[in-house]
Every structure is written in structure tokens, then in C-alpha cells.
């Protein structure tokens, strides 16, 4: 982020390191990367100078926590079908609708809200706009903080907008361009999910390799059984394949190359791979793997969502197929 707003002026490689280290120690804090590498870039890319001056310094110091509200109770994958509306009245947009599964939802001071400023637009995605909504906006309230099976250190919530009055000056970018902005920024979001899943797989593998070198059964180390060795060899291979593909992709993304198809490939394959690794690693831990006192148990609960959020893995395959001309 630009130094003039209080940023460090460093490139995305810095964020990659921060995201990797946060995942390596198993924080489960997806909201931090979401703020820094997903939501704040919307303001930096599409905000007016006035919006940047107002919000970016707080976003960079950590005084302003952000969230992005796309998903609704009735629609997630089909983003163009969102039903939250924003009707312009004088100098305000009157916002009505509900959002769910929103990371940082409870804690956020500022939200990028995906809404329809033209519900009649054809095709529907052309009616989508993005609004910057502050926490204390009249008519905006929180629903439940949701009870997840994993990522419990990350806040995920429902949001409610009932005639919420948002200043018209809080429109982000241009009316009707919201879907285009989302498609541009979702690349980095999906790349971040792939990065976290890759590191999670590496960590699960390392802790399991250690375990099979210590645990004995039938008078020998479980790592001496050929089945264990083959399982470990397969996991090491998949993890190395993921790492090599991912590092190459990060470099291309930093060079601003078009990596839409490859990011979709990395997102589905690496998150699926990490889920496979979680299952195999828990199995190699035996009963201890099912106990919360062993780190693999929490990793096993945390990883499946990576195949769901930032666009499900099925949606990733739709994008790949579309880009292959199908
Ligand atoms: C912990 C967590 C944090 C999240 N954080 C955020 C956030 O910060 N902001 C936000 O806006 N959203 C967030 N989400 C929402 C997430 O992005 C959605 O859950 C996701 O996009 C899927 O949408 P859905 O849940 O409505 O599932 P649905 O769209 O109902 O999909 C259900 C199933 O059908 C499949 N499916 C749907 N359409 C097709 C198709 N055309 N072909 C084949 N299969 C299909 C899907 O792949 C999935 O398996 C979060 C979700 C979770 C669980």
C-alpha cells in the first residue's frame, strides 16, 4: 500500500510471507489476510482520493477493520443473483437486504457491501454496485455470530440492512461496475486461499512425519510399515507439486500477468489436496489424531472450508472450463 496513506510501499510478496507465517503457526485467523489483501485493495484500486484519505490510514494502522459482504442467505455461488438493493434518494443510498457468512462481520468498522443499484438490469450482473458501509450507519445491524465447526478464532456473521442510509459519496467506483471489480479482485482472494491451504498441507505433513518416526505398533515404528511409507511418499509428492505450481503462480501474479485460469486451478486442486492430506494425517495419528490436544485435529476441522469460500471448488472448475471455450 502506498506510503502516502501510511503503507509500507512493499509488494504482494510481503503479504505472501505474512499469510504463510500466520498459517504455519495455525492461527486460523482468516480475517487478517481478508482485511489486508482482499478488502483494503478494493478501496485502494477503486476508491476516490477522498475515500482513500478517509479510510486507508485507519485500515493500515489497524484502527479500521474491514469486511466484504457478498453472500446472502439465498445466494452464494451465483453472485449476480444477490437481492440486497440500494435505492438512491437525494444524497443517500437506502440499503435493504441480508448478508451471511461474512468474515470479520461482527468486528468490522467498514464493509464493502455488494448490492443491486439496478435490479432490472439485463444481464443481472450489470446492476451490481459496491457500497462502503460504516459500522454506525443507521439501519445497519448484526445478526448472529455463526457457530462454525472450524476456524473458530475467525469471526463469521450475519448482517442486516433495514433502510440503512449510506451517503451517496460512499459508492465505490462506478454504479453497475461492481461485478467487474469483484471478478478482478477475487483472483488475489483465491490465491490467498491456495497459499494458506498449501502451508496447512505442509504443516500437517511435517507433524505427521514426525509422529510416524516416534509411534510404535507391533514392535516397530509405524513409519516402517510399507503402507505408511507409500502414504508419506504420496503426500510429499502432492505437496511438492502444489508448492511448485503455487510459487510460479505467485510470481506471475506479482508481474500482473493474467492468471485467472491458473488461480482457479490452484484454488481447487491445492485445497482438495490439503483436505486429502488432513484425512491421511489424522489416520496415521490413530486415535490421538481425533483428540483436540493433537494439532492435527484442529487442522482437520479448519481445512474443509477452503474448498468452499472465495468461490467453491465447483465454481473454480466452471471458470476453467469456460476459459477452455466450453
Ligand atoms: C467460514 C466462511 C467464511 C466466509 N466468508 C465470507 C465473506 O467474508 N464474505 C462473503 O461474501 N462470503 C463469505 N463466505 C461465503 C462463501 O463464499 C459461500 O459460502 C460460497 O461462495 C458458497 O455459496 P453458498 O454457501 O451459498 O453455496 P451454494 O452456492 O448454495 O452452493 C451449494 C453447493 O452447490 C454447488 N454449486 C452451486 N452452483 C453450482 C453449479 N453451477 N455447478 C455445480 N455445482 C454448483 C456449490 O459448489 C456447493 O457445493 C464465507 C463462508 C464460510 C463458510
Confirm or reject: Cβ of 188 under 6 Å from ligand 1: no
Q: From ligand 1's centre to the CA of 75, what distance in Å?
A: 8
pLDDT at 166: 98
pTM above 0.95, yes or no: yes
Query: Which domains are seen in the chain, by residue range?
Result: 3-61 (1.10.540.10), 66-175 (2.40.110.10), 180-323 (1.20.140.10)
Cis peptide, bond prior to residue 246, ω within 30 of zero: no
Q: Does any ligand 1 atom lie closer than 6 A to the CB of residue 71? A: yes
Rounded distance between C-alpha atoms, residue 69 and residue 159, angstroms: 8
- Give the residue among 176, 189, 185 at the shortest CA–CA distance from 80: 176
Tell me the average pLDDT across 244-263.
97
Q: Is 56 in the pocket of ligand 1 (CB under 6 A)?
A: no
User: Which grid cell is 230?
Assistant: 507409500
- Other Cβ atoms less than 10 A from the Cβ of 80: the count is 15
Residue tagged 506479482 (cell numbers): 254
Mean pLDDT of 36-45: 96
309 lines ligand 1 (CB under 6 A): yes
pLDDT for 144 equals: 95
> Which of 29, 179, 193, 312 has the most ligand 1 atoms within 8 A of CB, as the residue to mutate?
312
pLDDT per residue as tens digits for the range 68-92? 999 999 999 999 999 999 999 999 9
The residue nearest atom 50 of ligand 1, judged by CA position, is: 101
pLDDT digits (tens, 9 = 90+) for 80-132: 999 999 999 999 999 999 999 999 999 999 999 999 999 999 999 999 999 99
**d(Cα 39, Cα 173) in Å, to the nearest integer?**
14
pLDDT digit string, tens, across residues 133-168: 999 999 999 999 999 999 999 999 999 999 999 999
Helix (H) / strand (E) element for 91: namely none
- Kindly state the average pLDDT of the residues 256-282: 97
Residue closest by Cα to atom 26 of ligand 1 = 76
Q: Are 125 and 148 in contact (CB under 8 A)?
A: no
- Is 174 catalytic? The answer is no
58 CA distance to ligand 1 middle (Å): 30
Q: Where are the alpha helices (DSSP H) in the chain?
A: 12-24, 30-33, 40-46, 49-61, 178-212, 226-254, 260-284, 295-302, 313-323
- Ligand 1: distance of its center to the CA of 311 in Å? 6
- Per-residue pLDDT reduced to its tens digit, 177-231: 999 999 999 999 999 999 999 999 999 999 999 999 999 999 999 999 999 999 9
What is the mean pLDDT of the segment spanning 43-61?
98
Catalytic residue, chosen from 72, 158, 189, 203, is: 189
Given a contact cutoff of 8 angstroms between Cβ atoms, the answer to whether 46 and 173 are in contact is yes
Contact indicator for 66, 28 with CB cutoff of 8 Å: no
Does the Cβ of 102 fall within 6 Å of ligand 1? yes
182 lines ligand 1 (CB under 6 A): no
Hey, how many other C-beta atoms are within 10 angstroms of the C-beta on 204? Answer: 26
% of the chain surpassing 70 pLDDT: 100
User: Residue 40: what pLDDT?
Assistant: 97
Amino acid at each position: 500500500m502506498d506510503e502516502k496513506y501510511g503503507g509500507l510501499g512493499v509488494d504482494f510478496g510481503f503479504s505472501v510471507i505474512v499469510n504463510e507465517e500466520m498459517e504455519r503457526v495455525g492461527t486460523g485467523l482468516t480475517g487478517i489476510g481478508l482485511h489486508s489483501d482482499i478488502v483494503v485493495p478494493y478501496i485502494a484500486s477503486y476508491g476516490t482520493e477522498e475515500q482513500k484519505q478517509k479510510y486507508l490510514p485507519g485500515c493500515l494502522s489497524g484502527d479500521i477493520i474491514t469486511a466484504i459482504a457478498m453472500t446472502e442467505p439465498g445466494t452464494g455461488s451465483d453472485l449476480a443473483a444477490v437481492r440486497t438493493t440500494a435505492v438512491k434518494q437525494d444524497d443517500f443510498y437506502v440499503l435493504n437486504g441480508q448478508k451471511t457468512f461474512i468474515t470479520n462481520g461482527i468486528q468490522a468498522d467498514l464493509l464493502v457491501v455488494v448490492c443491486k443499484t439496478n435490479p432490472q438490469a439485463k444481464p443481472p450482473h450489470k446492476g451490481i454496485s459496491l457500497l462502503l458501509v460504516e459500522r454506525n450507519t443507521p439501519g445497519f445491524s448484526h445478526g448472529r455470530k455463526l457457530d462454525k465447526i472450524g476456524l473458530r478464532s475467525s469471526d463469521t456473521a450475519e448482517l442486516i440492512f433495514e433502510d440503512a442510509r449510506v451517503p451517496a459519496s460512499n459508492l465505490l467506483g462506478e454504479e453497475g461496475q461492481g461485478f467487474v471489480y469483484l471478478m478482478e479482485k477475487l483472483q488475489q482472494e483465491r490465491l490467498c486461499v491456495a497459499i494458506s491451504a498449501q502451508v496447512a498441507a505442509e504443516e500437517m505433513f511435517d507433524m505427521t512425519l514426525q509422529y510416524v518416526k516416534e509411534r510404535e505398533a507391533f514392535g516397530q515404528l509405524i513409519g516402517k510399515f510399507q503402507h505408511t511409507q507409500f502414504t508419506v511418499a504420496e503426500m510429499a509428492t502432492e505437496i511438492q507439486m502444489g508448492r511448485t505450481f503455487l510459487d510460479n503462480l505467485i510470481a506471475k501474479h506479482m508481474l500482473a500477468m493474467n492468471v485467472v485460469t491458473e488461480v482457479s486451478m490452484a484454488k481447487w486442486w491445492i485445497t482438495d489436496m490439503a483436505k486429502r492430506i488432513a484425512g491421511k494425517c489424522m489416520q496415521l495419528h490413530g486415535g490421538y489424531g481425533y483428540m483436540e490436544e493433537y494439532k492435527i485435529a484442529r487442522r482437520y476441522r479448519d481445512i474443509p472450508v477452503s474448498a468452499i469460500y472465495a468461490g467453491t471448488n465447483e465454481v473454480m472448475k466452471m471458470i476453467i472450463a469456460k476459459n477452455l471455450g466450453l
